Structure 1
């Protein structure tokens, strides 16, 4: 039978209750450890089992209050070691003198594990304080179960090495976690930046082309409105059609940006090379005739290649309309086996520099994202040339 949400919440332990139980377990740890050492039956390997199990009581408080929990663990381990090594312990039946160093080593491992946890989850200063306190208590306890200078120095060296190993392990765990968090943050920032650049390119390609066509048509309509009303009406119709298409594209883009969740999907397919004829028809209405030449066997290509190719042609033709000062241009689409080659040329007087404006920069970025090659610049015989080669993935060939 499944529990309702309200019943499930009622079964959860409240934070105050959990913290109280954690404190009770940690306080009971040194007491039960003392009892375990005193009531040890006979010197077998099982005599370390109960002290090891009792250490679990301090773990809940170690997660909430690491330093107080460590202090209680150190107090219990020191008292148990001293008790096992004291002459008073010999009065209890079945107590073995060798139990002292075994209890001491076991408690050193337990406290070293606590120091490693603190180093992995807390600040470095807190971890250093915990390590220093633990080492001091462990060396003090070693005085009771090691006699002789050589035995004592070897015990101290062993304790220092074990504690350093535990602290470094915890520190490396924390460093790795912080590095992973930094990498995730940088990846998120890069993803946001890449998405902003993509949106900026899409807006630039869409709006710049449409505004260029609208500006040309508006100028044509203004000049012929008195002498050629039919041409003026055609210009106004082209302005209406272009503005409607642009407005619909902007609405789709804004709708996709507002949509959230995995179920969000574009309201219309992205432009592809199949839309080139429609693009060039709108360009002809603006007074620039664009001839398209297709070479090779036409085939469907990956969506990112199709979209980038369309946007490059759109931006290049828009630059012809706005800057070339010519009435015609040529578009070549070459379907090769391992790449898609695009070339847009004109005979006008375009910009002398290939780096002017954001359009060419955007085209170069699109090609770079696909690991392709891009060139743009004036032609020796006059005019301007834009060429791009977009590699086609092997699985799409």
Structure 2
């Protein structure tokens, strides 16, 4: 027994099935109008002369065959199916001795008009409506030219209902197409947002690693003649940082290569993306920065809490970018990172240094792009937090990010 729930009946039924059901319901209604039901003195409508004769029954059978054929074609060829159903309506109306095509014989036509209006292009849908109304007008015109009585009001009512069915179909089709466009745009926006996120991650990761590499290379150059052991250690650190950065770049670029020929159209969630660090990775950041000659002291204030992933990542990236700026631009040999979680509603991270050390040059690597502070400010703003970056009164620089926490974040 399958565990998958079956679709509701209304959604399992095909348009052709609905058209066939409408036709059979119309036949039943037509028959009931022409017989005396319990509680009635007479039938609502007098049966025509040929209604119960062999020729009348034959015409009803032929009309039913045409209607069922149109119902079969309705899903694949809705315009052709409409023609069959219109022919069935005309043939079935002939033995009824009526002055206009009855509404019951046009029920299946209304279903077909709805399907054509919802699924086909506007011009084809408009032609289908004009054809359905033209058949009604033609039927009345032929009776009028033959000198027979004409049910103009009945014909207008049937035409009005057909027009309403067509309008409902057009509305449903436009709603579905709008929903499809909205889903496509949402998917496209999600892809763009994900790629921008990866680009920010790439900037944060590469900027930090390149800053470490530049500082190590500068230190090795200065002592290469007098302290070869330190040069060897610096080159080892450069190799390690370079390999880690290259591996991260490959993972990120692999995640971005989704538009190339032969690339998979879909990936599992998170596939090809680098590890998402948080404040728990500060010790690793301290180790890599210390190898570059800058000591980082981490102070945690308040009880540690399990932060939401986006806030945890953003807090770490602010610290990482700030420490990278200390390594690359400040000339300082130490900095302090403070993670303040005393307030249950916010987490505050602060990175500050005391300014350049005499005799120590900052590791200038191209003068900086100016994206570091802007990227940190954007990250914090997206989380509705507060960001500040300014020189300290006693020298050096301070970066502070205050990130609000959602309710329900508890201590570990």
Which structure 2 residues correspond to residues 349-388 of structure 1 after superposition, within 5 A?
A: 357-379=370-392, 382-388=395-401
2:132 and 2:384 mapped to 1: Cα distance?
Answer: 57
Q: What is the SS of the residue equivalent to 2:350?
A: strand
Alpha-carbon deviation of 1:298? 1.5
1:63 is aligned to: 75
2:348 matches 1:341: yes
1:176 and 1:42 mapped to 2: Cα distance?
Answer: 38
2:113 matches 1:115: yes
Q: 1:166 to 1:364 in 2, by over 3 A?
A: same
2:148 matches 1:136: no
Q: What is the SS of the residue equivalent to 2:402?
A: strand
| Structure 1 contact 142–155 (Cα < 8 Å) conserved | no
Q: Deviations over 1:218-242 (max 9, x none)?
A: 0111011112334323322332332
The equivalent position to 1:280 in structure 2, one of 283, 286, 305, is 286
Q: What is the SS of the residue equivalent to 1:75?
A: helix
2:167 is aligned to: 168
TM-score w.r.t. the length of structure 2 is 0.71
Q: What is the SS of the residue equivalent to 2:399?
A: strand
2:87 is aligned to: 75
2:335 and 2:371 mapped to 1: Cα distance?
Answer: 21
TM-score w.r.t. the length of structure 1 is 0.74
Q: What is the SS of the residue equivalent to 2:293?
A: coil
Alpha-carbon deviation of 1:311? 1.6
Q: Deviations over 1:4-30 (max 9, x none)?
A: xxxxxxxxxxxxxxxxxx9xxx9xxx9
1:110 and 1:267 mapped to 2: Cα distance?
Answer: 54
Q: Whose helix proportion is higher, 1 or 2?
A: 1
1:394 is aligned to: 407
1:225 is aligned to: 224
Which structure 2 residues correspond to residues 238-277 of structure 1 after superposition, within 5 A?
A: 238-250=237-249, 262=268, 270-277=276-283
2:274 and 2:166 mapped to 1: Cα distance?
Answer: 57
Q: What is the SS of the residue equivalent to 1:396?
A: coil
1:9 is aligned to: none
Structure 1 stretch 131-140 or stretch 293-302: which is displaced more? 293-302
| Structure 1 contact 288–328 (Cα < 8 Å) conserved | yes
Q: 1:263 to 1:175 in 2, by over 3 A?
A: closer
1:220 and 1:139 mapped to 2: Cα distance?
Answer: 95
Alpha-carbon deviation of 1:215? 0.5
The equivalent position to 1:310 in structure 2, one of 267, 292, 316, is 316
| Structure 1 contact 108–159 (Cα < 8 Å) conserved | yes
Structure 1 gaps, min length 5: 1-21, 86-98
Alpha-carbon deviation of 1:343? 1.4
Q: 1:71 to 1:244 in 2, by over 3 A?
A: closer
Q: 1:327 to 1:45 in 2, by over 3 A?
A: farther
Q: What is the SS of the residue equivalent to 1:104?
A: coil
Q: Deviations over 1:162-184 (max 9, x none)?
A: 12211111111111111111111
2:93 and 2:247 mapped to 1: Cα distance?
Answer: 80
C-alpha RMSD of matched pairs (Å): 3.9
1:117 and 1:166 mapped to 2: Cα distance?
Answer: 9
Which structure 2 residues correspond to residues 10-21 of structure 1 after superposition, within 5 A?
A: none
1:90 is aligned to: none
| Structure 2 contact 388–401 (Cα < 8 Å) conserved | yes
Q: What is the SS of the residue equivalent to 2:118?
A: helix
| Structure 1 contact 135–160 (Cα < 8 Å) conserved | yes
Count of paired positions:
346
Q: What is the SS of the residue equivalent to 2:305?
A: coil
Structure 2 gaps, min length 5: 1-15, 38-46, 52-56, 258-263, 357-361
Q: What is the SS of the residue equivalent to 1:394?
A: coil
1:80 and 1:267 mapped to 2: Cα distance?
Answer: 66
1:298 is aligned to: 304
Q: What is the SS of the residue equivalent to 1:395?
A: coil
Q: What is the SS of the residue equivalent to 2:408?
A: helix
| Structure 1 contact 293–332 (Cα < 8 Å) conserved | yes
